[in-house]
A and B are shown apart, each in its own frame.
Chain A
């Protein structure tokens, strides 16, 4: 009895979490424009999606920023993790404190502080500044997924490579990086999804001329969202779901390999 009750409770919460998403996906197949009325099944919005230039452009901005930002964040974060792992305890503390700043600050403060930086240095806000901002909030996540993997390996492996005549570059490429590869991939996927979904930081660090999907949705929210947006987000949801399953599959695999 209590077991059934527990399951019922969990089912109820999951229903609460999925209700809006189901509604959204339903709407994307609705033939009519109205939000609440069902006027029959249609793929109309999916077809129109590929004709809408503003959505196409926003999609391109979103995906290219996510790809570039996660690429740079992965390099920066992985190098940082290797460096921090080799530091003395006291300097490690300082570095971790700096890392925790962007993670504890509310998004709106991150966004505004970066906006002020760009205004102060007289850099016009747009694609480039949004990219810089995304790299900034992604890197700590990469760092924090690589660092535990480094802590798991022996401190002496890298030094043994050097003793055996490897240059630091060689040891990095053939000893350190392969050992922490799962962490790097998890970090890269994580930062890709984070930047795909980001709204607040992008909103403050771009201009109205360069919009990603989130800021486009925001600017349309007042006059009403186009149903094409629902179609797009349903598509993106499925894509992210696949990505997420890939991350989880990886972590399950690496856990069972241990």
Chain B
């Protein structure tokens, strides 16, 4: 707690503003009809502006400026071509860059983004394929254990996610539990770790519950009379599912896809533990650019690209589920 010295004008200004609002509200609470209730939301609005909206603008600010603070698009050019900085310096020194052969094609960042999107896509598809049937079986009203089991899907998330990922290491290692078991059964050892499949396994493991809940909720809240009516009108079980249950569960699927895809694009830490040399994902790249390379400008540009991609995919998904029904998962 020795890092608590706050020299900044910024934080004092924020505290002052928040303080004034709170005092204002407390004073007006004592006056009869002194305050409209909507005023109670003011501290929150102020908080969100200072700690959510302003920081987002800061990301945009850093993304479009250079180290000296003047406007530039170089950070984005750096994203497309990681040799951009070097080439610029070479040109400044009078070299003809177009004639030079660079060993690195400069597509590292774009490759990482494409790889992350591909991994996130695979993870989402697998989660949907595994999670949908599970949610469907649990929401069966004749299955008394269903509501208990869905709670069991939440419980693992309360174990620190870093430790759960490290525990997979214990299972998958060359001398890990699975390989020891395989060996004692007479099979050879398998190389289970340090590749992108291990990373994928870690991701599916972490994000599966986020697919199961919304789908479970959307099936569970359907009026049972609908599928009963379909059955009464002569549809068999398969037809009831494809014509009634499944279409009505689409909002749940959409929100499941959102909740799995978004965080999995920015997956960070899992590739570092379970992956090998070239399994870096976009989250790791952003972290590395900020903290190891200490380049906030390029890092901000990367974050901005990330955010634009996410907003774009949310708006795409909104078209499928315009009411945002699937969002009520809490």
Q: Please give the residue numbers on chain A whose beta carbons come within 8 Å of chain B beta carbons, in ascending order.
A: 6-7, 9-10, 13-14, 16-21, 23-24, 27, 35-36, 76-77, 79-80, 82-87, 91, 95, 98-99, 101-102, 104-109, 112-117, 119-128, 132-133, 135-136, 139, 141, 143-145, 158, 162, 165, 167-169, 172, 190, 193, 197, 199-200, 204, 207, 209-210, 213-214, 217-218, 221, 225, 229-230, 233, 236-237, 240-241, 244, 248
Contact = CB atoms under 8 A, between A and B. Distances in A.
A58 to B, nearest CB: 12
Most buried by A among B6, B37, B39, B170: B37
B161 interface: yes
A35 to B, nearest CB: 5
Most buried by B among A112, A145, A172: A112
A18 B30 CA distance: 53
Contacts of A21: 156, 159, 164, 167
Interface string B39-60: 1111111011111111110110
A36 B6 contact: no
Contact of A112 (B4, B59, B155): B59
B168 interface: yes
Interface residues of B, number: 103
Contacts of A145: 330
B306 A36 contact: no
Contacts of B265: 106
A83 B44 contact: yes
Nearest to B167: A20
Most buried by A among B4, B5, B34, B163: B163
Given A24-B159, A85-B37, A236-B160, A98 B286 contact: no
Contacts of B300: 112, 116
Consensus secondary structure, chain B interface:
helix
Given A106-B310, A199-B162, A19 B5 contact: no
Interface of B: 1-11, 25-26, 28-45, 47-56, 58-59, 62, 130, 133-134, 137-138, 140, 143, 149, 151-171, 173, 175-177, 180, 205, 208-209, 258, 262-263, 265-266, 268-269, 272-273, 283, 286-287, 290, 296, 299-300, 303, 306-307, 310, 314, 330
B266 A106 contact: yes
19 contacts: A6-B140, A10-B137, A13-B134, A14-B153, A20-B171, A21-B167, A76-B44, A83-B40, A112-B286, A114-B51, A121-B9, A125-B3, A136-B52, A197-B160, A199-B161, A199-B269, A218-B269, A237-B158, A244-B151
Contacts of B263: 106-107
A20 B41 contact: no
Contacts of A115: 290
